[in-house]
Structures are given as structure tokens and as C-alpha cells.
Amino acid sequence: MMQLLTYTWTYVVQMAGLFVAFLFAALFVYLALRHFHSRMMRVALVVVFLAVSIVFYVPNGLPRGIEYPLSLTTYGPAEGPVIPIGNVWNLFKNFDRFERVEDIARDPNEVPAPITRTESATVYIELTTKEVIAEMAPGVLVNYWTFDGKIPGPMIRVREGDTVVLTLHNDVTSLHHHNIDLHAVTGPGGGAVSTMVAPGESATVTFKVLHPGAFVYHCATPNVANHMTHGMYGLIVVEPKEGLAKVDHEYYVMQGEYYATGGMGRKGLQLFDADAMLDGRPTYIFFNGKMNGLAEHMQAKVGESVRMFVGNGGVSLVSSFHVIGEIFDRVYPEASLTSVPFTDVQTTLVPAGGATVVEFGLEVPGKYLLVDHALSRLDRGAWGVLTVTGAENKEIYDGVIVPGHGH
């Protein structure tokens, strides 16, 4: 309970402040009224007070945190992104049941090994949907919904022609139903219609991967956008039968967004802002689930080659993926691994619900920033670092590196 109070402290203070201000304003009006002997004057003052209260207090005075959209008219095929007040109540009632995850970000090195098989196989995959509490930024707490407790969900790696038997478990501590739609699936709902699971339940779907590529998977429980922005996405990579060229490092990065009623940087537990999501105005934009989600995990050496599987969980933004100080040797646009790759690319698009695969060699040591080159998004968190160590190569780059004089 004390923990919950600290999470919601700013809202409590705001509400208390407003209550006190309103109480004393009313007292002031009451005392003023006593000096008016004319009934008309008293009525007029009360009307003015009430009118001013309605005009200014209601739209501007209520903290955004409690101005939860209790009803919202939307026109999607299923329910809109309003979380019923009962669910909000449930969130607080069950607050202590949620696992606290120390670091919600999946390490970008968590990439399954390349496939060496030359025959098709049946691959068994198990995923667990779980709702947890973790930090978006220091002191900024979010009730994330995840696949396997991290964001993005685990990268799945199979081979073109494989049969996948996927079992989805919904953790017993979850408050919501979840399912999985994999863009690599040929079939209704990408598997979602066969995998809807209530808390504590499991469901299995079997599918054959007909197309190679790097595909997004995500929860498709209505409201789908709501489930995705809470963190329910990942990548399934289907290698072409002939496999992928060998590289020294493979990384797994996914861009995402979160919409918070409190605005950027506000401490404590965040409440989801359905209006902001419908407007496409994310509060936070990030790689791997949170601010600085890639941390110092991406390390490589001069002379090595890198492949990045980059997905976009959205829900609204198209990413203009760029690595500052590098040029992609090859880009597989929209993660089409069978088309002839683009060569020598600066910035590539990653559509919402899509992916890209980029490859490049490392020639010069230094820190290379991964960004969404819609650069105002840097300030909302959309950046990470690839650190390259090794011998300088003055023929390619010769200059004094002054810390703080770059991006």
C-alpha cells in the first residue's frame, strides 16, 4: 500500500491541492455573500462562481492523470482503447501481484544462433504473456504487458518450410486476455484467432512458414493498439532455405512507443493515455522497451561485420532508422530477405508493424548512435549506442574526437 502511495504521490498531491483551493474559494464566496443584502446580488455571485468553476476548473483544473477517458466513441472493428474503470480498479487492487522487473529491456544480443539445418523441421515454441511493473526511465513506472517479461518478446528463428507448433501461455497474474498474431503466418488472424487465452490458460497453434523474412509478431487482442503500445511485440525471423551470410554480430532491436497521461519525465506510476494514442502523440519513443534500452550491450571491433534485425512495434510512427557515422552496406527493405538488397544506404524506413534488416562493416572505432532520424524523437528516447573499439584508421577518418561535440 505504501509502495502504491509513492507511485501515485504526484496525483494525490495534485488532487489535495485542488480540493483545498476549491474549498477555500467556496468559503471566500460564502463570506462575501454575507455582506450582500440584496438577494439578486447573492444569486448573481453564486452563478458567476459556478460558471467560472465549470469553464476553468473542469477542463483545466483536473489533473491529466485522473482525466481517464471513461467513454470514447471509436469506429474500429472491436472495442476502442478505453480501459474500463473496473480494470483500473483491478490494476490497483492487484498491484502487489505484478512482478517487478528490474530491467524491462531485452538485451539486443539475445539473438538465436543462425540455422545450420538443411532440412525442414518441426519447431516447438513456448511464449508466456505477462503483465509486469518496470521502469521506463528512472522513477517513471509503467505497467508493461509483455511476451516473456521483456520488451521486445524473444526473437524466434526458424527456417523457410519449417512447421512451427507455438503454445501461448497467459500468466495467472495477468488481468487481461492475450493472443499472438505472427506476420509470418499464412492463415486467419496470423494465429490470433486460435490463441486467445485468459489469465492462467494456454493455447496452441500450428503453422508452416512459407515465406522467408523478418516478421513482426504482436498481441492482437482488442484493443490491439492498446496491447501493442503496452509492449506486446517481437520478431520472428524466417531464414531463407539457403541461410543468411555469416556476420560477426547480430543484434535485435525494436522501436516502440508509450502514451502516458502525466507527460514526459513525470515520476511515479504512469497511466495510459488513450486520447494521445488515438492522436498519435507518443510520450516516450524508444528501442527495446525503455529509455536507453540498448544500454552498453552493443560492443564490436574494427574489422567486424554487423547485422541488425530492426522491427517497429509502433503503434503510430514509421521509423527512419539510421546509424550516425555509418552507411549501411546492405539493406533488405521491409525485411525482404529474398530480394536484391539495397546497397550504400544512409537511412531506411521501418513501417509500423514491419521490420528491416541492415548489414554493415566497421572500419573506424568510436560510438555510433542508432536513431530514428526524425530527430526530435531523440529527446523522447529513440536512440541507442553501438560501441566500436580497435585501431584507428586515419585514412578513412582523421580528426580529434571531442566528447560532447556530436549528437
- 180 vs 370 by CB, closer to Cu ion: 180
Alpha-carbon distance 57 to 236, whole Å?
49
Alpha-carbon distance 231 to 400, whole Å?
41
Alpha-carbon distance 80 to 289, whole Å?
23
Residue 146 β-bridge partners: 130
Alpha-carbon distance 219 to 147, whole Å?
9
Q: How far is the CB of 332 from Cu ion (least distance, A)?
A: 29
Pick from 105, 142, 166, 219 the residue near Cu ion by CB under 5 A. 219
Q: How far is the CB of 314 from Cu ion (least distance, A)?
A: 14
- 181 vs 359 by CB, closer to Cu ion: 181
Alpha-carbon distance 339 to 298, whole Å?
28
- 217 vs 251 by CB, closer to Cu ion: 217
* Number of shown-chain residues binding Cu ion (CB under 5 A): 5
Does 223 sit behind a cis peptide bond, omega within 30 degrees of 0 on the bond before it? yes
**Residue with the closest Cβ to Cu ion?**
219
Identify the H or E element spanning 93. helix 85-93
Pick from 130, 183, 227, 249 the residue near Cu ion by CB under 5 A. 227
Q: Does 283 bind Cu ion (CB under 5 A)?
A: no
Contact window for Cu ion (CB under 5 A) among 75-83, 157-165, 220-228, 309-317: 220-228
Alpha-carbon distance 256 to 355, whole Å?
12
Residues in region 98-127 near Cu ion by CB under 5 A: none
Q: How far is the CB of 174 from Cu ion (least distance, A)?
A: 9
Contact window for Cu ion (CB under 5 A) among 110-118, 222-230, 304-312, 398-406: 222-230
Residues in region 174-193 near Cu ion by CB under 5 A: 178
Identify the H or E element spanning 237. strand 233-239
Contact window for Cu ion (CB under 5 A) among 91-99, 230-238, 303-311, 313-321: 230-238
Handedness of CA 189, 190, 194, 195 (dihedral sign): negative
Q: Does 130 bind Cu ion (CB under 5 A)?
A: no
Q: Does 221 bind Cu ion (CB under 5 A)?
A: yes
Q: How far is the CB of 125 from Cu ion (least distance, A)?
A: 17
- And the C-alpha cell for 37? 443584502
Q: How far is the CB of 259 from Cu ion (least distance, A)?
A: 16
- 108 vs 153 by CB, closer to Cu ion: 153
Does 152 sit behind a cis peptide bond, omega within 30 degrees of 0 on the bond before it? yes
Alpha-carbon distance 272 to 213, whole Å?
33
Residues lying near Cu ion in the complex (CB under 5 A) are found at 178, 219, 221, 227, 232
